Structure 1
């Protein structure tokens, strides 16, 4: 069962989120708070799989809080749930390592969809903010070398580092270095995100 922590300073919204999450038998709310200063401790104590984070919590800046949690509890995925559509806020949150960014005006089905994706290791951003992500992706993609793109396609096709090294006639260490570089440039964190990126950009069917 996946453990979820709610960090939202409006009690009515927290209650609504809890009722919605109760509709899924494989998820449970392991903790909740409206105080930014308590979030890290609750996430650590509950060993949460997912944190639903409002960026405007009192007591601690949301982006800094996300960075702190990623540092202390890297296994915990973070889905920002906020009303802010500011492009700078979106980019800052994604740069801090959050795994998803959902706007509060989205409906409950979209929230459940976003949670499912993030728990599966796939980054989610509300469709209304797609242009922000496209701009960031476009900028990052131009910095990828031909070799890194080649390795990205092979990773997304299911090849291991050993397989890729043999195909390209290079060492496994070289493959791992290229993989690390391209994932850093594209803000990708795992193979699932690499695959999703490749499919979205037409690099893999």
Structure 2
């Protein structure tokens, strides 16, 4: 039995989701909330297999919440269900470690399909959005070298380029070049996205104070 948590601030949408999910005997809604501040606790307490997450919940910033859940509950799948059709939002969500990005204008059958895809271990992205992206979100990134992985872990741990250069006996310019190569290979755009990627893949934990 797959345990599912709903994080959606519109009651009518939550009720519709619950009704739809009740058609599947192997899925069960074990928790729901309209408050972003309670999501992490509910996911942890229910040991949820899947979180259906609205990025615009009161009391939180959706991408940061996804990062927190990914760090806290790495086994929980996260399927974003949002009205936000921005390609940059989808990229940020994927960089934060979500397993799927679905638009709210899709129908109920598509939601069931998206959940099945995510449970199968494949990333899901609404077709209308995927076509708008410069590169498919599910594409395999270029492999990174051992040195690049070492620098990625240090970046994600909150170290500056100067700190990394001193620690690894490299020049600051070399460290910056490695960082640029990482962003290019992984199709990421800044240190925050590198950090989210490292946390998602278990290479680092959330930096202190985050």
* TM-score, scaled to structure 1: 0.68
Structure 1 counterpart of 2:166? none
CA–CA distance in structure 1, aligned partners of residues 138 and 26 of structure 2? 37
Q: 5 Å matches for 1:65-76?
A: 65-76=65-76
Work out whether residues 63 and 92 of structure 2, in 8 Å CA contact, stay in contact via their aligned partners in 1.
yes
Structure 1 counterpart of 2:10? 10
Structure 2 counterpart of 1:52? 52
Question: How many Å apart are 1:185 and its aligned residue?
Answer: 3.1
Q: How many residues align?
A: 151
Structure 2 counterpart of 1:185? 186
Aligned CA distance change for structure 1 residues 136 and 114 (closer, same or farther; 3 Å) = closer
Structure 1: which 4+ aligned runs deviate by more than 6 Å?
A: none
Structure 2 counterpart of 1:160? none
RMSD: 2.5
Structure 1 counterpart of 2:106? 106
Runs of 5+ in structure 2 lacking a partner? 145-181, 188-196, 202-210
Greater helix fraction, Structure 1 or Structure 2: 1
CA–CA distance in structure 2, aligned partners of residues 103 and 93 of structure 1? 13
Structure 1 counterpart of 2:86? 86
Which structure is higher in RCO with an 8 Å CA cutoff and minimum separation 6?
2
CA–CA distance in structure 1, aligned partners of residues 123 and 15 of structure 2? 25
Question: How many Å apart are 1:119 and its aligned residue?
Answer: 1.0
CA–CA distance in structure 1, aligned partners of residues 134 and 88 of structure 2? 14
* TM-score, scaled to structure 2: 0.66
Runs of 5+ in structure 1 lacking a partner? 146-180, 191-205
